[in-house]
Amino acid sequence: MANQQTDPRTAWPDTAVVRSAQAGDAAAISVLIEGAHPHVRRFAASLCMSEQDAEDATQEALVILYRKVGTLRATAALASWMFTIVRNECVRRWTISRRHVLAEVTDLPLRASSSAEEAALAGIEASLVSAAIAELPPDQRQVLLLRDVHGYSGSTVAKHLGLSLPAMKSRLHRARAALRAGLDSPA
């Protein structure tokens, strides 16, 4: 284990770079952002539901890093801090898209309800659909959200998930059937 070298393409920026960036060194901030980018992007791609959301979450995390690196207390916490920012941004984007999907699935507009009864019914329907989607296995949930929620073409979804088009269609069919069954079963 002695003399083990880390690949600069896969290693996070070292403590000296982080400390210099925290002190306001513009060159160190640039090195820090460049060094963190591939790690943050990889994590965002694995967590976010679409390529665009992953790119947006990555950019948001790097902007926050740039603006708030001086508030980071422990240099060793950089990766954890960045991943928390990315996770929160992916969840935020998923929540926004879910609201739009639920409005489409329940045929209810995103506008305010005209009555308390209508608002209560919309909330019940939305929570039922949301719960049914959350119960799907991750692979089915992902294909359903990409295809039916985000509206990506079948070939785009298949490519993003590394599947053949027939395999993606099969998984989507199973996801839709499981969602229907989840919605039809008594609570």
**Tens-digit pLDDT profile for residues 152-186:** 888 988 998 999 999 999 999 999 888 888 877 75
Per-residue model confidence (pLDDT) at position 186: 58
Least confidently predicted of 68-77, 78-87, 141-150: 68-77
Least confidently predicted of 85-99, 144-158, 160-174: 85-99
For the cut 70, the answer to whether the pLDDT of residue 105 exceeds it is no
Kindly state the percentage of the chain with pLDDT values over 70: 76
Where do we find the tokens 């507009």?
109
From the list 113, 124, 177, the residue with the least C-alpha distance to 148 is: 177
Residues 6+ apart with CB under 8 A from 66: 29, 33
**pLDDT: is 95 or 5 the higher one?**
95
For the cut 90, the answer to whether the pLDDT of residue 111 exceeds it is no
H/E element, 40: helix 26-47
CB of 18 closer than 8 Å to CB of 75: yes
From the list 61, 68, 63, 79, the residue with the least C-alpha distance to 22 is: 68
From the list 83, 50, 65, 38, the residue with the least C-alpha distance to 149 is: 50
Kindly state the percentage of the chain with pLDDT values over 90: 18
For the cut 80, the answer to whether the pLDDT of residue 103 exceeds it is no
Residues 6+ apart with CB under 8 A from 141: 133, 134, 175
Please state the rounded mean pLDDT for residues 70-77.
76
Report CA 68 to chain centroid distance, whole Å. Answer: 22
H/E element, 114: none
Distance CA(81)–CA(157), nearest Å, equals 30
Helix, strand, coil in percent for the chain, rounding step 5? 75, 0, 25
Number of Cα atoms under 13 Å in the Cβ half of residue 9: 0
Per-residue model confidence (pLDDT) at position 4: 41
pLDDT digits (tens, 9 = 90+) for 34-61: 999 999 998 888 888 778 888 988 999 8
From the list 75, 58, 76, 84, the residue with the least C-alpha distance to 21 is: 75
Please state the rounded mean pLDDT for residues 57-85.
84
Please state the rounded mean pLDDT for residues 101-119.
54
